[in-house]
Amino acid sequence: MTLNPTELPELTELERIIHEGAAHLEARVVCRVASGERHFPVYAITLGNPSPEIPAVGFFGGVHGLERIGAEILVAYLHSLVMRLQWDTMLHRQLESVRMVFMPIVNPGGMWQGTRANPNGVDLMRNAPLEARERVPFLIGGQRLSARLPWYRGPLDGPMELESQAVCQVVKDELLGRTFSVSLDCHSGFGIRDRIWFPYAHTIQPIHHLPEIFALKEIFDQTNSSHRYIFEPQSRQYLAHGDLWDYLYQNADNESARSFLPLTLEMGSWEWVKKNPRQMFSRQGIFNPLIEHRLQRVLRRHIAWFDFLTRAACSHDRWMPTSMDRGSFQKRALKQWYGMRSS
């Protein structure tokens, strides 16, 4: 495949998949962002039963422009689903009872520029109107000193950035109205191990749905006994202002019977970058055949987790704690993640 070097290859690939899978998916442009003279669409793609009665799973990526791998494995995963839909009856059956939502390239302007932030210099994961309750680390916890420094939150009392607003809109339209939804936002670059983070990032307090998170982790452990993920609340690593998923979680109606579980995948063991960093960071590099097999290897490492989340959403009735046993899940979760002894 020859690529025009003025294009963003991940976006070109996504548009090709949208075209190829048109019979099975819906795609819409949720906002357009500019970087200098260039304009990029931000897409939301949906598959499966649109009924609000049906559970949903959402996959988000490319929030930080430098962390291309998150966008790339979601584009590759979507491609694999579109290919399977040509022959896989079981996948068609599954999509009768689960909605799948993809927003793989949230920050195309940042990806184009090769920056973590969006073209306005704002870190979209520090941009929500939400203050940390405890002390955050200097800079990395979010700052309003300057857009020239990393982790800039955006101006005080300013509107959220277009990309952040677009994520909020998609989550509201596609996930929050349902009895059950789970989302996964794919990032990379923190630490050595692959991590699954859950809220909160703005406080060390546990979330209301801690028992449900623990139950989800437990069925994943039971089904994939030697998996490599560390599950933990993000607050165990660092606290931050303006976390978008904390904000969305807090704005969901958590007192009702609905459950929205926003998770983050932090891909830590990024071995293939060590092997070929130069190619990795070139715009044309990622979809050329030399790099393609490495991308496939990273996808293989996570595809079981992606498929698991989709099935877990589909089957939430079977594993979610009942009101009777939430207490025991809560106790075990507090012991594992918050250092609290059960009495």
Which residues make up the interface to Zn ion (CB under 5 A)?
64, 67, 187
User: Of 18 and 286, which CB lies nearer to Zn ion in the complex structure?
Assistant: 286
Rounded distance between C-alpha atoms, residue 249 and residue 171, angstroms: 10
User: Of 10 and 212, which CB lies nearer to Zn ion in the complex structure?
Assistant: 10
162 vs 127, 128, 149, 166, 319, CA distance in Å?
11, 12, 20, 6, 36
User: Of 245 and 260, which CB lies nearer to Zn ion in the complex structure?
Assistant: 245
Instruction: Give phi and psi for 296, each to the nearest 5.
Output: -60, -35
Least distance to Zn ion, CB of residue 87, Å:
35
Instruction: Give phi and psi for 111, each to the nearest 5.
Output: -65, -40
Q: What letter would DSSP give residue 186?
A: E
Least distance to Zn ion, CB of residue 267, Å:
10
User: Of 10 and 67, which CB lies nearer to Zn ion in the complex structure?
Assistant: 67
Distance between first and last Cα of the chain: 62
User: Of 107 and 330, which CB lies nearer to Zn ion in the complex structure?
Assistant: 107
Least distance to Zn ion, CB of residue 110, Å:
10
Rg (the chain; Cα; Å): 19
Least distance to Zn ion, CB of residue 125, Å:
6
Which residue number is nearest to Zn ion in terms of Cβ? 187
Least distance to Zn ion, CB of residue 63, Å:
6
Angle at the Cα of 198 from the Cα atoms of 194 and 203, rounded to 5 degrees: 120
- Cβ 237 vs Cβ 190: under 8 Å: yes
Least distance to Zn ion, CB of residue 105, Å:
14
Rounded distance between C-alpha atoms, residue 171 and residue 126, angstroms: 17
* DSSP of 9-39: HHHHHHHHHHHHTTTTEEEEEEEEEEETTEE
User: Of 67 and 161, which CB lies nearer to Zn ion in the complex structure?
Assistant: 67
